Amino acid sequence: MTEKPTDLNYAALVDPFLGYAEKDLPEAEGIAARWWCAKPPIGNTHPGACLPFGMVSACAYSGAYVTGYGRYGLSLSGDSPPVMYDRHEAVGIAHFQQSGTGRIRMYYNYLLTAPLGAEGLESRFERMELVDERAWPGYYAGKFAESGVSFEVTVTPRGARHVYHFPEGLDPVVVVDVSAGGLLVDEMGIYPQWAELDVLEDGSICGQVVMEGIPVKFRCKCEGGQAFLWEDEDELEEKGYVLGLERQKYRPDFGFGFRVKEGAEAKLDFGFSLRTNEKAERAISSIGDFQESVSTAGKVWEETLSKIEVEGGTAAQREIFYSALYHSCLKPADFADENPFTGKDGPFFFDLSTLWDSYKTQLPLMMTLWPEKGAAFVAFLCEVAQREGGFPVSYLMDNVPDRFTKQATGLCHAILEDARCRGMVGDWDRVLSLLWKTSQSGKGRKSRFGEYGRSFVTTPLSHTLDISYAHFCMARMARSTGNQAVYDKAAALSVHWRNAFDEKTGLLKETSTYYEGENWNYSFRFLHEMTERIELAGGDKGFVALLDKFFGFTVPAHGERVFHFEGLNNEPDMESPYAYLYAGRHDRTARVVRRVMQCQFNTGPGGLPGNDDSGGISSWFVWNACGLFPVTGQPVMLIGSPLFEKVVIHLSDGDFCVLAEGNSDENVFVQEAYLNDVKINRSYLKISEFCGDSILKLVMGAEPTDFGTTHRPPSFNP
């Protein structure tokens, strides 16, 4: 078996198993004991082999919810998830997995690969206990207990590599089920629309399978292996196979396999492409031995994770941090030059599941640390809008764009303005033109944008906030590009967020549905006019009183209906701890974010409070552990309460350092703040100050001071 590389520092701190099981968190203390669990208390991660923002992943497959790994069945409430299997088991290794999502109806898990038992094809994909698992970034291994076959997998930029170690006396045969896909949970399986397989003269397999309208082309080679094709329990004599309409009617299992001489290991290499067989062949034509691939994957992860260096804290906190940074860098999956719709080279991504989960924390982190990938993401979003007539809220490996309409509207407006604020390279005149045109015509005119434009409100009411903010972002972009016509129209439409609020309560109106939350959970979102928002709630005192009830600092009056903070179990209110800053109560923000990091995250399989949602939750931890928090679409960074004594963030123009002098579990309150040795008494940085060769020093203490009480984060007019 492959030994763990000894040259890994940051990657060695990552636990890929963190978050796949039901939560096992520290006892909730103080205000945290009152928080609400709206979603399943499980991170839904998987430990499979992946590269940063990688196209390919490979992991053991049990068919369980939601990644295909593990033991759980479908769960949508905040209760414990149902157990689907009594033991930890698997049927093989599948490719392409989601990361930490909920029910999204697209679960991939293609080209299911497994060693055969003594019964041959009749025993294909027999359920076996999964033991002796090991994983580190870019590598995953384990053993099927009943057969005694152990396996190792790693990934390359466009492929995957498998090694199967067979016990003495068992013929080394590995089969790949091309017909497999999705989960084994009711109504979550996928069957191909079309497929073709060919055994080539060199003994490799060339094929493609169309899943959910997306062609997955592949080449597979097995060192020293004899290839064959199969359908159901029968090995085929033919060297070619086509799943046409007639065969599809009966939905047979089908695929290919390799026999290796007795006593040998079975080594399989896969290359993938969504465009051509030649690209799939190139994906495996130049790779070296397995150990070299494992080492290369580890080095790529080491470079990625070293973008942020932390000092201090406990060993457990550092493990949680780098595991969170790891999970923050899995999605979106970078399919550059693999656009299956246009067949052209250029930026292309999949697995936005959904932008609602990632636009507040994960995408700003990606754009901050990897601006070149941020620029590619901007170009990708514009290509989608140009081709499909609208910007997506989600984007998965299928040909049904924008499945998710309940969560939010107009998120790309905030994402793209955020990219501009952060200095991403982009054709902002073109971006603005696409944003405005798609909002006012086509999908935008026929949906909630049109309703908002006519009546200045849309339902659910959280979408009124989205669309108001989208117009603010377009107005800001228009002002920067000198487009006065768009600016005038967008600015005029940006003010109607007020129509969603009840002036009597200072909260969003109860006469609406709210996705995965209640009106309280959406009432403290960042708006561009936070001063006016606070006045609507009765000023600082009234706004803070509402927040105190929401977070549990005060107990509601008898009969009063209050919905509490979701405590990072879900995303709707993940930014709300920082709403206190706009009312001058940095101390409250500090207490809440420290309590979240203390009570809602842990080491081990149960270390996440809820669905990680493609790194949305993990990236929240990364930002807050650093003592910072982004405001998507606005040129500010908020100051929180850092977990570590020192954080160094390697930006493209140099290092930004956060020093927390006197930091400890008790000293959570900022006493004084200095930016490059100049004292500041404000709880935010301008985005221009979040730059290289800068040091933010925070003097920490056990009691609150007047820090941030007068100089608060700004409200923005378009």
If phi > 0 it is left, if psi is from -120 to 50 it is alpha, else beta; for residue 316 that is alpha
Let me know whether 263 and 357 are in one domain: no
Planar angle of CA 260, 263, 264, nearest 5 degrees: 50
pLDDT of residue 402: 64
Greatest extent of the chain over all pairs of C-alpha atoms, in Å:
80
Residue 288 reports pLDDT greater than 90: no
Q: Given 257, 278, 302, which residue is the final one in a domain?
A: 302
Q: At 615, is the secondary structure helix, strand, or coil? A: coil
Q: At 59, is the secondary structure helix, strand, or coil? A: strand
Q: Kindly state whether residue 345 falls inside one of the protein's structural domains.
A: yes
162: its two tokens = 């498998």
Let me know whether 297 and 320 are in one domain: no
**Contact criterion met (CB below 8 Å) for 640 and 349:** no
pLDDT of residue 285: 76
**Contact criterion met (CB below 8 Å) for 331 and 99:** yes
Let me know whether 317 and 270 are in one domain: no
pLDDT of residue 469: 98
User: In 10 A of CB 345, how many CB atoms?
Assistant: 11
Confidence of residue 444 (pLDDT cuts 50, 70, 90): low
Q: Kindly state whether residue 396 falls inside one of the protein's structural domains.
A: yes
Amino acid at 642: P
Backbone CA torsion sign across 360, 365, 366, 367:
positive
pLDDT of residue 405: 79
pLDDT of residue 187: 85
Strands 308-311 and 173-177: unpaired
Question: Tokens 């697995």 label which residue?
Answer: 351
Q: Kindly state whether residue 717 falls inside one of the protein's structural domains.
A: no
Q: Kindly state whether residue 81 falls inside one of the protein's structural domains.
A: yes
Please state the rounded mean pLDDT for residues 517-537: 97
Let me know whether 417 and 546 are in one domain: yes
Q: At 515, is the secondary structure helix, strand, or coil? A: coil
Let me know whether 237 and 337 are in one domain: no
**Domain of residue 663, residue span:** 307-701
Please state the rounded mean pLDDT for residues 578-599: 98
Backbone angles phi, psi at 238, to 5 degrees: -65, 155
Residue 81 is given by DSSP the state P
Q: Rounded distance, CA 461 to CA 496, Å?
A: 11
Q: Kindly state whether residue 2 falls inside one of the protein's structural domains.
A: no
Q: Rounded distance, CA 90 to CA 83, Å?
A: 14
Let me know whether 678 and 544 are in one domain: yes
Q: Verify cis geometry, omega within 30 degrees of 0, for the bond prior to 630.
A: no
Residue 137 reports pLDDT greater than 60: yes
Let me know whether 519 and 549 are in one domain: yes
Confidence of residue 510 (pLDDT cuts 50, 70, 90): very high
Q: At 610, is the secondary structure helix, strand, or coil? A: coil
What's 22-41 look like in SS3?
ECCCCCCCHHHHHCCCCCCC
Amino acid at 549: K
Let me know whether 278 and 356 are in one domain: no
For the ranges 1-5, 11-15, 363-367, 517-521, the lowest mean pLDDT is seen at: 1-5
Residue 442 reports pLDDT greater than 70: no
Number of compact structural domains in the chain: 2
Residue 403 reports pLDDT greater than 80: no
Report the chain's mean pLDDT, rounded to a whole number.
95
Nearest to 69 by CA among 52, 86, 94, 50: 94
Residue 422 reports pLDDT greater than 90: yes
Q: Rounded distance, CA 641 to CA 581, Å?
A: 12
Residue 287 reports pLDDT greater than 80: no
| Exposure class string for 550-580: b at 16+ Cβ within 10 A, else e | bbbbeeeeeeeebbbbbbbbbbbbbbbbbbb
Alpha-carbon separation of residue 633 from 62, 167, 519 (angstroms): 41, 57, 23
Q: Kindly state whether residue 26 falls inside one of the protein's structural domains.
A: no
Task: Please report, for the domain that includes residue 438, its CATH number.
Answer: 3.30.2080.10
37: its two tokens = 């669990």
For the ranges 294-298, 443-447, 487-491, 565-569, the lowest mean pLDDT is seen at: 443-447
Q: Kindly state whether residue 8 falls inside one of the protein's structural domains.
A: no
Task: Please report, for the domain that includes residue 266, its CATH number.
Answer: 2.70.98.10
Planar angle of CA 565, 568, 573, nearest 5 degrees: 50
Residue 89 is given by DSSP the state E
Q: Given 257, 287, 302, which residue is the final one in a domain?
A: 302
- Identify each DSSP E strand in 17-99 by its residue range: 49-50, 57-61, 89-90, 92-95
Please state the rounded mean pLDDT for residues 417-436: 97
Cα 247 versus chain centre, distance: 37
Please state the rounded mean pLDDT for residues 357-365: 97
Residue 553 reports pLDDT greater than 60: yes
Backbone angles phi, psi at 479, to 5 degrees: -65, -40
Alpha-carbon separation of residue 549 from 34, 186, 434, 521 (angstroms): 10, 40, 42, 12
Q: Rounded distance, CA 326 to CA 324, Å?
A: 5
116: its two tokens = 């055969």
Backbone angles phi, psi at 129, to 5 degrees: -65, 135
Let me know whether 400 and 266 are in one domain: no
Please state the rounded mean pLDDT for residues 371-388: 96
User: In 10 A of CB 77, how many CB atoms?
Assistant: 11
Let me know whether 261 and 346 are in one domain: no
Q: Given 256, 272, 302, which residue is the final one in a domain?
A: 302
pLDDT of residue 124: 86
**Contact criterion met (CB below 8 Å) for 414 and 633:** yes
Please state the rounded mean pLDDT for residues 467-480: 98
**Contact criterion met (CB below 8 Å) for 159 and 56:** yes
For the ranges 356-360, 399-403, 588-592, the lowest mean pLDDT is seen at: 399-403
Q: Which string of DSSP letters, residue by residue, matches 124-178? A: TT--EEEEEEEEETTEEEEEETTTTEEEEEEEETTEEEEEEEPPTTS--EEEEET
Q: Rounded distance, CA 380 to CA 161, Å?
A: 29
Let me know whether 91 and 223 are in one domain: yes
Nearest to 613 by CA among 64, 19, 90, 13: 19
Q: Kindly state whether residue 411 falls inside one of the protein's structural domains.
A: yes
Let me know whether 504 and 396 are in one domain: yes
Residue 445 reports pLDDT greater than 90: no
Q: For the segment 63-92, what is each residue's pLDDT rounded down to a tens digit?
A: 999 999 999 999 999 999 999 999 999 999
For the chain, the C-alpha Rg in angstroms (whole number) is 26
